[in-house]
Structure 1
Amino acid sequence: MPATQGDGKPFLTEEELNKDPEAVFHILEKVGEGSYGQVVKAMHLRTSTVCAIKMIPIENDLNESIKEISMMMGCDSNYVVNFFGSYLKDEQLWIVMEYCGAGSVSDIMNLTRRTLSEDQIATICVMVLRGLVYLHERRKIHRDIKAGNILLNVRGEAKLADFGVAGQLTDAMSKRNTVIGTPFWMAPEVIQEVGYGTGADIWSLGITCIEMAEGRPPYYNIHPMRAIFMIPTKPPPTLENAARFSGRFQQFIARCLTKNPAERPTAEMLL
């Protein structure tokens, strides 16, 4: 079943999904590169729609890539990056998805060399929380919420991206026990491997709020292994320069960073 474009219409036809992707897309430019492979901006030849294609070498962990595809395929939300289809091409897996032209929140902060205002953070948080409500209702955990994984389109709409580590909660395994994600943003229960649920994403959102306000997450200047020790044992982090921010914003962060996951609010409660 081909994925839809957001308006319910199939974007890639079955015939196109069975073709060589280079006959379906024109590659425009490389927009990102990392240990996973690269991301290119491409144009869909039939519709002239611009999209993003993540190209992952097959020698990388194919299971992770297949997990990412299955996670994205099950999503149809304005607050989650749309998945259109996938191809195997020249020892690479191509994942075709919605193009978010403004880049990530992290990219924007790096380019402008500025942190975000409280109003900007609030706007992004509302959209992220709506994305999390959508995922959590479907028993999915993102597991890697951070500014680098919140993408913005040219209309300024924020969407959750990079499901490389996202997990599916099943009835048989309602709590995950694997340590996956970026250490500085990890919830204490994830680090302690005591099993965790959707609340882990809420903690990561709280850390992301600090990152957006201050340009970096707490403990960024210490070794990640030391941070892994400190996060579960120290009190929850707070804004370094709290006087610059409203009490309401500080309270929102404090609620997200509730140490006990059972007492941490849900995404719906925070909206």
Structure 2
Amino acid sequence: MYVPVESDLQEISKEISIMQQCDSTYVVKYYGSYLKNTDLWTVMEYCGAGSVSDIIRLQNKTLTADEIATILKTTSKGLEYFHVMRKIHRDLKAGNIFLNTDGREKLADFGEAGQLTDAMAKCDTVTGTPFWMAPEAIQKTGYNCVADIWSLGIISIQMAEGKPPYADTHPMRAIFMMSTNPPPRFRKPELWSYDFTNFVKKCLVKNPEQIATATHLLQHPYIKNAKPVSISRLYHRCYGDQN
């Protein structure tokens, strides 16, 4: 990708720094950057299948329970890697989970990512996309890595229902409702297994002290029992006739 030089180079440098520090099969790989004329070009791993959000949009239907489980398992592994390094994605959504043409999911887009340190155990900057933001991030009460887990719960509902909770609401209204209402749940929970609804329930906890970590979620029956579904089939279903 390329970025005009007149863009905020400090923010771009921060994103590049985050990518340089990551070396995981679950995170989009960064290869380097170079300046050409007035543009900064960044070379990253190619994810030809687009994002999970693209897949939902192109096939014009929601994902199956097995496909969702596979994506959540890989994404949880990516978050575990990210959080061990005390990094917070802060803008996790289906549009930022990319798939390569082999059907492997990768965390991407670290423009809003933050780094916790010994001196800063929590962040207080309001950043991210409203419908996926954790309540503690909205309320500026201080938040850490588990704010990404709330976003993972919202993504789970998005993959199952086609859009996140409050998607038809004005973003500012959605932020207010996310802060004051009980955690969102499935519109029709009877369509989904107990393990899946329980997984989402463990992600969408308003008290960040009680929310599960990525490491704990990887031990959840919904993730542990995920069938080895080839997500590449999604790619061919959406793009096969175009290649």
Q: Give the TM-score normalised by structure 1.
A: 0.79
Match of residue 48 from structure 2? 101
2:22 is paired with a residue whose SS is coil
Cα deviations by residue, 1:197-233 (Å, 9 ceiling, x for unpaired):
0000000000000001011000000110111111111
Matches within 5 A, 1:1-271: 54-271=1-218
Larger displacement relative to structure 2 (129-138 or 87-96): 87-96
Gaps of 5+ in 1: 1-53
Gaps of 5+ in 2: 219-243
Select the structure of larger CA radius of gyration.
1
Distance in 2 (CA, whole Å) between partners of 1:184 and 1:217 is: 7
Moved over 2 A (4+): none
Question: What amino acid is aligned across from residue 64 of structure 1 in structure 2?
Answer: E
- Deviation, 1:114, is 1.0
- Deviation, 1:95, is 1.1
1:56 is paired with a residue whose SS is strand
Greater RCO (Cα-Cα under 8 Å, separation 6 or more): 2
Cα deviations by residue, 1:15-42 (Å, 9 ceiling, x for unpaired):
xxxxxxxxxxxxxxxxxxxxxxxxxxxx
Distance in 2 (CA, whole Å) between partners of 1:251 and 1:268 is: 16
1:239 is paired with a residue whose SS is coil
Distance in 2 (CA, whole Å) between partners of 1:90 and 1:256 is: 45
Distance in 2 (CA, whole Å) between partners of 1:63 and 1:194 is: 26
Distance in 2 (CA, whole Å) between partners of 1:182 and 1:236 is: 17
Question: What amino acid is aligned across from residue 205 of structure 1 in structure 2?
Answer: L
- Root-mean-square deviation (CA, aligned residues, Å) is 0.8
Question: What amino acid is aligned across from residue 249 of structure 1 in structure 2?
Answer: F
- Deviation, 1:87, is 1.2
Distance in 1 (CA, whole Å) between partners of 2:110 and 2:80 is: 16
Question: What amino acid is aligned across from residue 79 of structure 2 in structure 1?
Answer: L
- Deviation, 1:58, is 2.0
Report which of the two has the higher share of helix: 2
2:43 is paired with a residue whose SS is strand
Match of residue 237 from structure 2? none
Report which of the two has the higher share of strand: 1
- Deviation, 1:153, is 0.9
Q: Give the TM-score normalised by structure 2.
A: 0.88
Distance in 2 (CA, whole Å) between partners of 1:263 and 1:220 is: 26
Distance in 2 (CA, whole Å) between partners of 1:176 and 1:89 is: 35
Larger displacement relative to structure 2 (234-243 or 86-95): 86-95
Cα deviations by residue, 1:163-201 (Å, 9 ceiling, x for unpaired):
111111111111111011100000000000111000000
Identical columns (%): 61
Question: What amino acid is aligned across from residue 234 of structure 1 in structure 2?
Answer: N
Question: What amino acid is aligned across from residue 62 of structure 1 in structure 2?
Answer: L
Distance in 2 (CA, whole Å) between partners of 1:92 and 1:81 is: 21
Cα deviations by residue, 1:127-150 (Å, 9 ceiling, x for unpaired):
001101101000111111111000
Question: What amino acid is aligned across from residue 132 of structure 1 in structure 2?
Answer: L
When the two structures are aligned, how many residues end up with a matched partner?
218
